[in-house]
A and B are shown apart, each in its own frame.
Chain A
Amino acid sequence: MTQDILDTVEFDAEGFMVNASGWTKEIGEAIAEALEVELTDRHWHVIDFARKDFEESGEPPTLRRITKQTGVDMKEIYQLFPDGPAKFAANIAGLKKPTGCI
């Protein structure tokens, strides 16, 4: 069901949303489902911060910035997104692929 939402959204070749401002929580949930990530409150804590930070800076936050600002430490963020926290968090938050090196 939730996959239908994704048909209404434009993605780039790597599956990142083209237009970050069109993101909703429902779209975030549908992307997470497509990525086989089961979202918990701690995931949302990271995603909400990434959204807020993006709105202020125009860039997806680096992983180091997320861990410094959210209280989700490095170990935990790798538990939340074991297959690549930088890409997975940005993808679910509807942001472009992060380019920061840290």
Chain B
Amino acid sequence: MAKPSRALHKSSGTNGNRKLALVTSKGSLDMAYPPLILANAARMSGIDVEMFFTFWGLDIITKKKMKNLNVATVGNPNMHPSFHIPTLLGALPGMSAAASWMMRGEIKKLGFPRVPEFIELLVDAGANVYGCKMSMDMMKLTEADLVDGATVLGAMEFMDLTEGAQIVFV
């Protein structure tokens, strides 16, 4: 039993202010949600959040791609039995789209927003969202291609920003 106090809710960290850094390197629908959910949970708990989107993870914050992330039905070792599709069938046209449609339905049932709305929510919640400069150069993207609120950042700058943070790589 403890009386309410700020200290009880203050997340412990190096400077008293805990910081979470999420590096997101994959852009499939099933790999997009874990970092978004963790980032949101952190912000709801008052933890600072820095999100670095690199390589395929960039799709999650790229305006043209973020609405249509898909689940791979071939070569995806993470398929839960309820989503499982045999590899040979998974290669048929439309299977990936069907699996993605199914997963979007399940996500919606749980009350989670779709990816574009989720990113907007995180930006509004004060999470910092960065696109990896090197990956963007490789994919011929500029800041204008990224969702509103996202900025371009080099990996070394990201290191500077995340000193003392807890880093999660997805």
Q: How many residues of A contact B (CB 8 A)?
A: 31
Least distance between A72 CB and chain B CB atoms (Å): 12
Given A63-B44, A102-B40, answer yes or no on A11-B111 (Cβ-Cβ < 8 Å).
no
Cβ contact within 8 Å between A85 and B44? yes
Chain B: interface size category: 20 to 34
Chain B 29-64, CB-CB to A under 8 Å as 1, else 0, gives: 000000001001101111100000000000000000
In contact, A82 and B4 (Cβ under 8 angstroms): no
Partner of B6, one of A6, A35, A74, A102: A35
- B43 engages A78 (CB within 8 Å): yes
The answer to whether residues A78 and B124 also contact, given A11-B2, A84-B45, A91-B4 and a CB cut-off of 8 A, is yes
A interface footprint on B53-89 (CB within 8 Å = 1, 0 otherwise): 0000000000000000000000000000000000000
Q: How far is the CB of B9 from chain A (nearest CB, A)?
A: 5
Q: Are B124 and A11 in contact (CB under 8 A)?
A: no
Interface residues of A in 71-102 (CB under 8 A from B): 73-75, 78, 82-88, 91, 101-102
Whether B3 contacts A11 by the Cβ 8 Å rule is yes
Where the two chains meet, the residues of B that have a C-beta atom closer than 8 Å to any C-beta of A are: 1-6, 8-11, 37, 40-41, 43-47, 111-113, 121, 124-126
List 3 tightest A-B contacts by C-beta distance, closest first. Answer: A84-B46, A15-B4, A74-B124
Q: A13-B2, A84-B9, A101-B40 are in contact. List 13 more A-B contacts (CB 8 A).
A: A6-B3, A6-B4, A11-B1, A11-B2, A13-B1, A15-B2, A34-B3, A64-B113, A64-B121, A78-B124, A78-B126, A102-B37, A102-B111
